[in-house]
Amino acid sequence: MMGGARHQSTFDRLGNDPEAWLDLAKKGVQRQLGVDGESAQVAKVLVSEQAIPQYQVGHNDRKIQIQDSLDEAWDARLTVVGSALHGVSVNDCVNNAREAAAAHARFLSDWSLCPSDSTPREREMLREIKRLRKKATGAPGDSV
Ligand SMILES: Cc1cc2nc3c(=O)[nH]c(=O)nc-3n(C[C@H](O)[C@H](O)[C@H](O)COP(=O)(O)OP(=O)(O)OC[C@H]3O[C@@H](n4cnc5c(N)ncnc54)[C@H](O)[C@@H]3O)c2cc1C
């Protein structure tokens, strides 16, 4: 895999030309690994511009601002996750999604202390969350 935000000038020069990228890759493995790239039997090039987010200085502040704005607009009922924000690996994405879902389940659980405000649909969702939580942890769910 080649690329990165600091290599924009290379991208500007080579653009979407697969042959040019292949040539660069062959020179790279020759120089870095001492492998003769010309002897490669199979080669496939996939050019993906801006495929993996790269966090710039100030990223942490920006993501806090984004979540603060969402909290204000959605009354803390919407959380965004994904590689653009909290870590680029699949593991990060899965972990952050789980944490976000758990936080919302906690929020709903607290809010259920005053269920007189809730609609039948909201109570149904809460029951489902508790059922899933019980299944995941083996802990007894509260009655709703
Ligand atoms: C070439 C490459 C190799 C990688 N290798 C690894 C690896 O080995 N290990 C690893 O852990 N991670 C790897 N990653 C990183 C990992 O794949 C990503 O970080 C992860 O998939 C990001 O998940 P995401 O849900 O944030 O975004 P995505 O997986 O990009 O999902 C976003 C989805 O939103 C959709 N979408 C976008 N805009 C809109 C819109 N306006 N309306 C509706 N839908 C929209 C897109 O079509 C896409 O389906 C790799 C990434 C790339 C590009």
Q: State in Å: Cα 90 to ligand 1 middle.
A: 8
The CA 132 to ligand 1 mean position distance, Å, reads 27
C-alpha separations of 135 from 92, 113, 129 in Å: 24, 22, 10
Tell me, yes or no, whether 33 and 66 share the same domain. no
Q: 126, 124, 121: which is closest to 142 by C-alpha?
A: 126
**Quick one: pLDDT at residue 137?**
62
CB of 102 within 6 A of ligand 1: the answer is no
Exposed, middle or buried, 126 (CB in 10 Å: 0-12/13-18/19+)? buried
Contact between 66 and 85 under an 8 Å Cβ cutoff? The reply is: yes
Residue range 107-134: average pLDDT? 63
- 131 inside domain: yes
| Ligand 1 contact via 83 beta carbon (within 6 Å) | yes
State yes or no: pLDDT of 141 exceeds 60.
no
Q: Is 73 in the pocket of ligand 1 (CB under 6 A)?
A: no
Based on the domain organization, do 63 and 133 belong to the same domain? yes
| Residue of minimum CA distance from atom 9 in ligand 1 | 89
Residue 144 lies in a domain: no
* Rounded Cα–Cα distance for residues 111 and 132 (Å): 18
Q: Of the residues 85, 88, 91, 94, which should be mutated to test ligand 1's pocket, given the most ligand atoms within 8 Å of the CB? A: 88
Domain range enclosing 85:
59-137
Taking only the tens place, the pLDDT of each residue in 39-81 is: 878 899 999 888 899 999 999 999 889 988 888 888 777 888 9
Q: How many domains does the chain have?
A: 2
Residue 58 CA to ligand 1 centre (angstroms): 22
pLDDT at 11 over 70: yes
Residues 42, 100 within the same domain: no
**Cα separation of 129 and 3, whole Å?**
42
Residue count of the chain: 144
